[in-house]
Amino acid sequence: MLQVSKTAITKTKEIAENLVKWCNANEEHKCYEQLYSQDIISIEMEGSENQVARGMQEVAKKGEWWEANLEVHATKTSAPTVADNWFSVRHEMDITHKQSSPSVQF
**Domains in the chain, start-ordered, CATH in brackets?**
6-105 (3.10.450.50)
In the chain, helix, strand, coil percent, each to 5?
40, 25, 35
pTM above threshold 0.75:
yes
**What pLDDT does residue 27 have?**
95
The pLDDT tens digits for 42-51 are 988 898 877 8
**CA–CA distance, 87 with 19 (Å, rounded to integer):** 11
**What pLDDT does residue 17 have?**
97
The pLDDT tens digits for 46-66 are 988 778 999 999 999 998 988
Is pLDDT at 1 greater than 60 in this prediction? no
**What pLDDT does residue 49 have?**
77
